[in-house]
Chain A
């Protein structure tokens, strides 16, 4: 199962829509990191709206992927966690600690753009950014 990684300017956008085996999760992690490095993406939005189960393995992998992406130089947001998933993770004693989260993809993208703008290392010119934000 190959999860598409879409490029939106300097942001990568990916959405997990199917139930993944552990091996598929690890493959996904590696392909996200390689793509970030390849295109020197400044941000990664990981949409998990469709995920009904995030167990400790998946939680740890999301956490790790976010840390790794940051080490490469990309900002990360996790978007659209289902309330039942948040509830279960915290009850288990396992949050996604330190991962930035937003209600939905839309907010995720604007959060990323804001943070990239703050960093001031955007690959896009001043004009491009104005066009995008207007």
Chain B
């Protein structure tokens, strides 16, 4: 079995709200290209939309990297969303359902976590990095 080769497919700088669209469309495109079903395409695109909007809202700007980390047996898409904003002051609180500092966006991060298979968050003042992954077994040809 070949070791998975990680290939960065898209790097989308997040500077304004049109970049949120670019990021989620790119994620959807990769998911479609890797033959994930329409529900998974929508899950991934929606998760990317939530995270990149957070970047704009809380940090002003950042970057979204969309990575194909598929192997022979698995289709695997990882998205890394990073910014150099003030950071999330209380991660535990931010991961609590229904909590929002932005007036009702509510289920942001916990919602994203539920849509994804893996979810990692590191945040400190000056650097926040969210890594989300969707993985599906690859159908035998």
Instruction: Please list the residues of chain A having a beta carbon within 8 angstroms of any beta carbon in chain B.
Output: 19-23, 52-57, 60, 82-85, 87-88, 91-94
Contact = CB atoms under 8 A, between A and B. Distances in A.
B89 interface: no
A88 B43 contact: yes
B114 A92 contact: yes
The A contact surface, by secondary structure, is: helix
Interface stretch (B14-22, B63-71, B132-140): B14-22
Interface stretch (B2-10, B46-54, B118-126): B46-54
Contacts of B18: 21
10 contacts: A19-B25, A21-B18, A22-B53, A53-B49, A56-B108, A82-B38, A82-B42, A84-B39, A93-B110, A94-B107
Interface of B: 17-18, 20-21, 24-25, 28, 38-39, 41-43, 45-46, 49-50, 53, 97, 104-108, 110-112, 114-115
B106 A88 contact: no
Given A56-B105, A93-B110, A88 B39 contact: yes
Given A53-B28, A56-B106, A94-B107, A88 B115 contact: yes
A112 B41 CA distance: 32
The B contact surface, by secondary structure, is: helix
B99 to A, nearest CB: 12
Contacts of B39: 83-84, 87-88
Given A87-B39, A92-B111, 7 more contacts: A19-B25, A22-B53, A52-B42, A56-B107, A84-B41, A88-B115, A93-B114
A82 B28 CA distance: 15
A61 B91 CA distance: 26
Nearest to B111: A92
B46 to A, nearest CB: 5
Contacts of B105: 56-57, 60
Contact of A91 (B17, B38, B108, B114): B114
A47 to B, nearest CB: 18
Contacts of B46: 53-55, 88, 92
B45 A22 contact: no
A22 B114 CA distance: 23
A53 B111 contact: no
